[in-house]
Structure 1
Amino acid sequence: MGTAEERAIAVIMVGGPTKGTRFRPLSFDIPKPLFPLAGQPMVHHPISACKRIPNLAQIYLIGFHEEREFALFVSSVSNELKVPIKYLKEDKPHGSAGGLYSFRDQIMEDDPSHIFLLNCDVCCSFPLPEMLDAHRKYGGMGTILVVKVSPESASEFGELVADPVTNELLHYIEKPETFVSDLINCGVYIFTPDIFTAIEGVTTQQKNRANLRRVSSFEAMQPDTRNLSSDYVRLDQDILSPLAGKKQLYIYETKDFWEQIKTPGMSIKCSALYLSQFRPISPQLLANGDGIKKASISGDVYIHPSAKVHPTAKIGPGVSISANARIGAGARLINCIILDDAEIKENAVVIHAIVGWKSSIGRWARIQASGDYNAKLGVTLLGESVIVEDEVVVVNSIVLPHKTLNVRVQDEILL
């Protein structure tokens, strides 16, 4: 355990509207970090995990969404968890390390000995206290959460090699073209304040290079050249890779689940993973029912208290039903997310799908997909205020907001 003098700060990177384009059309209506998984906004899950950090003084959310989009959420979750939370808006993208560095004065106000850095679009059990114990033992500048994946999928992430005895990070490469390791970076870190010195060193080098290099008039007109200033610093390529093998960085491997939430399909999978995590730690959040006075519940299911669910409905597994949703008699829901004010009418079926805000699914209609959460059309996705009329079938399709469907749709994107 740490000393009474130790203090920790947590920073959660939430990105901004220029990111998350793969999350459309859901991100048209709400910032991706606020999209609900297992009944809670996506960013609520890492925030809740940070609550378990010993001597936590403050949580910062850093991104370039407008502050007003996060104001209500920040106020609500601060009161709920009894921990100070503040949203810090970047004036422009600075990169994962540059964004941290740009707010170094605020972050260091509480004189923290440890700085936790998390990405909000990862889904895992966030073993932060265990990471902290390992970080203290290693005595380095930083500790990285890692997980073992299949060799086939490793190249989609940052791959790394570590000493099997000391856990020192020996080599790091972001999305390599050839296989390096089946250990990947989870996007969860602990650093000492020395991380700011490391980032400052990179920005100084980049400024010096910029001053020495002449840029042609053609290069100066290119978006990348104009926008990426010397204070744009990437944590992976600019910090982790150069410091590997220098007894500065170490790893902590999780044996639990881990996923990256890049697409709407993955949000269904991750919502189910979080629901399964509720079973041992927050069972009161899970619905129950026997099909008599309450709907028949199978597996892990979340139902918002304001939702109305007919007792003859069959719900689960892996289902999340949001506020003021209405589920009719005989409806069948499996592995899906039903958003606020949506209506599923009598005997409709929803499988591997997201039903958007204020959408309506008609009687005996069927909304389904293959359940390949990584495929572009592996889930069926209905945007806000989509109407599916009675007995209509929608399969493996994406429907943008405010559409009415009165014929079968399969393997289509309806703009």
Structure 2
Amino acid sequence: MGLPSVAYDRGDERDGSARRLKWQQDREVRRLKGLIILSDTSSSVDDHGSSSDDSDDPPPDAYAYSCAGDRKGKGPARKCMDMRYTNVDDKIKECLIPNLAQIYLIGFYEEREFALYVSSISNELRIPVRYLREDKPRGSAGGLYSFRDYIMEDSPAHIVLLNCDVCSSFPLPDMLEAHKKYGGMGTLLVNKVSAESANQFGELVADPETNELLHYTEKPETFVSDLINCGVYIFTPKILIAIEDVLKQKKDRANLRRVSSFEALQSATKAIPADYVRLDQDILSPLAGKKELYTYQTLDFWEQIKTPGMSLRCSGLYLSQFRHTSPHLLASGDGKKGATIVGDVYIHPSAKVHLTAKIGPNVSISANARIGAGARLISCIILDDVEIMGEGDHNAKLGITILGEAVDVEDEVVVTNSIVLPNKTLNASVQDEIIL
């Protein structure tokens, strides 16, 4: 299967060969495409350690993690879109680098769930944002290839690929400059972690002088390196040719391999489909050491959102970053003209916080939330339309907690280390619970 015609030079010479794809190096303005992978199955989280493509079940949904719902984006999780959108917002806004042509969100959610959001964020940022729904699991690289027609519109020079279950400062401008200097097919964002935790991720070895990727392995049983894959990439369009090569090899092997009827029956449910291509094992590992892939190490924060509680930690990391990059977004107050603010706190302009409340550290309060008199909030995320009442003998107190949309916490209620999904009223204290 060749690349689409829009990927070729639009002159008179069109021979239909993917190998003669023109990169148009002489163009003054280099157009980029940003892709953010949201999918709740194999094409999102298999490439930096949160799950494995080899498992029988599809990897969990990064957004259902954030919302504590089911991993198919159904049921309670579907009511928690605000947390999903907040997570996506972070990635989209980090993609806003010069010459960005378009942003695609790739996932398995129903298109209608993202329709209003995509329209709103496109108008806000004045950059086309589109949601692309995968029809079946194809692996992270296979999913990318299946949307090559869209990706190659306008003949982009570079493709920025982000997995959405990570939080980071996303140093894309510096990473892009390094990628251009390397001159390879792709550049991976990498980070150093402890030797004890490295095997939870894709480990890699890079040349200390050239930063070339020399070796890559996904979740090794024995320690290989403390450098890990962060799930953030910049590629040239040549990545699509590399994926196409793998697809052809898989097809050829499938045609050549002869099996008995018993083997065919046994392998029917275990065999990986021919159009299923993993970015880590099928692309990164084989191309390591061939001067095609390079690394860019971040010295800033990086975390993967593996559990609901990690959303809270990531919120704290972003708030801490705002202190240096966007201090105007953080709230302040001493209790005289407004609530008492301790540490890093974000309060949406439409939220109403009583001046006797004490907020922080590490608190994020979303649109139209209402915080009553005397409430004390520490380490929590308050989503849209949540009401925290006040004036009790022991006013509402939240610690290490995420409250979904339109949750009401009544007087004298303590909520600790819990996640509450939308449209609930809490009239009794809870601790260490996920309330569906």
Q: Which has the higher contact order (CA 8 A, sep 6+)?
A: 2
Question: Which residue pairs with 1:25 in the alignment?
Answer: 68
Question: Which residue pairs with 1:388 in the alignment?
Answer: 426
Question: Which residue pairs with 1:212 in the alignment?
Answer: 256
Counterpart Cα distance in 1 of 2:80 and 2:253: 36
Counterpart Cα distance in 2 of 1:241 and 1:32: 39
Q: TM-score, normalised by structure 1?
A: 0.87
**2:96 aligned with 1:51, yes or no?**
yes
Indicate the SS of the match to 1:385. Answer: coil
Structure 1 position 288, deviation (Å) = 2.1
Matched-pair contact (CA < 8 Å) for 2:80–2:405: no
- Superposed CA offset, 1:249-296 (max 9, x none): 000000000011122100011111112222233333222222122111
2:117 is aligned, of 70, 73, 85, to: 73
Structure 1 position 85, deviation (Å) = 1.1
- Superposed CA offset, 1:330-353 (max 9, x none): 111111011222221211110100
**Higher alpha-carbon deviation: 13-22 or 170-179:** 13-22
Structure 1 position 323, deviation (Å) = 2.1
**CA 1:35–1:171 in 2, change beyond 3 Å: closer, same or farther?**
farther
Matched-pair contact (CA < 8 Å) for 1:33–1:120: no
- Superposed CA offset, 1:327-381 (max 9, x none): 1111111110112222212111101001122222221211113xxxxxxxxxx11
1:285 is aligned, of 321, 325, 329, to: 329
**CA 1:293–1:319 in 2, change beyond 3 Å: closer, same or farther?**
same
Question: Which residue pairs with 1:15 in the alignment?
Answer: 39
Structure 1 position 306, deviation (Å) = 2.3
Counterpart Cα distance in 1 of 2:231 and 2:344: 27
2:313 is aligned, of 259, 269, 272, to: 269
Matched to 2:423, the amino acid is: S
Counterpart Cα distance in 2 of 1:32 and 1:217: 42
Structure 1 position 309, deviation (Å) = 1.2
**2:30 aligned with 1:6, yes or no?**
yes
**CA 1:34–1:168 in 2, change beyond 3 Å: closer, same or farther?**
farther
Matched to 2:68, the amino acid is: P
- Superposed CA offset, 1:115-138 (max 9, x none): 111111110011111011111111
**2:375 aligned with 1:337, yes or no?**
no
- Superposed CA offset, 1:185-221 (max 9, x none): 0000011111011101111111122223336453365
**2:132 aligned with 1:88, yes or no?**
yes
Matched-pair contact (CA < 8 Å) for 1:342–1:359: yes
Counterpart Cα distance in 2 of 1:114 and 1:91: 25
**CA 1:258–1:33 in 2, change beyond 3 Å: closer, same or farther?**
farther
Matched to 1:143, the amino acid is: T
Structure 1's unaligned 5+ residue stretches are 370-379, 401-415
2:406 is aligned, of 349, 354, 358, to: 358
Matched to 1:218, the amino acid is: L
Matched to 1:395, the amino acid is: Q
Matched-pair contact (CA < 8 Å) for 1:33–1:42: no
Indicate the SS of the match to 1:160. Answer: strand
**CA 1:384–1:258 in 2, change beyond 3 Å: closer, same or farther?**
same
Counterpart Cα distance in 2 of 1:109 and 1:24: 34
**2:303 aligned with 1:238, yes or no?**
no
Counterpart Cα distance in 1 of 2:177 and 2:216: 23
Aligned ranges for residues 131-210 of structure 1 at < 5 Å? 131-210=175-254
| Percent pairwise identity | 62
Counterpart Cα distance in 2 of 1:79 and 1:24: 26
Matched to 1:327, the amino acid is: I
Indicate the SS of the match to 2:153. Answer: helix
Indicate the SS of the match to 1:109. Answer: coil
**Higher alpha-carbon deviation: 338-347 or 73-82:** 338-347
Counterpart Cα distance in 1 of 2:94 and 2:211: 24
Structure 1 position 148, deviation (Å) = 0.5
Question: Which residue pairs with 2:83 in the alignment?
Answer: 36
Matched-pair contact (CA < 8 Å) for 1:160–1:171: yes
Aligned residues: 381
Question: Which residue pairs with 2:435 in the alignment?
Answer: 399
Q: TM-score, normalised by structure 2?
A: 0.83
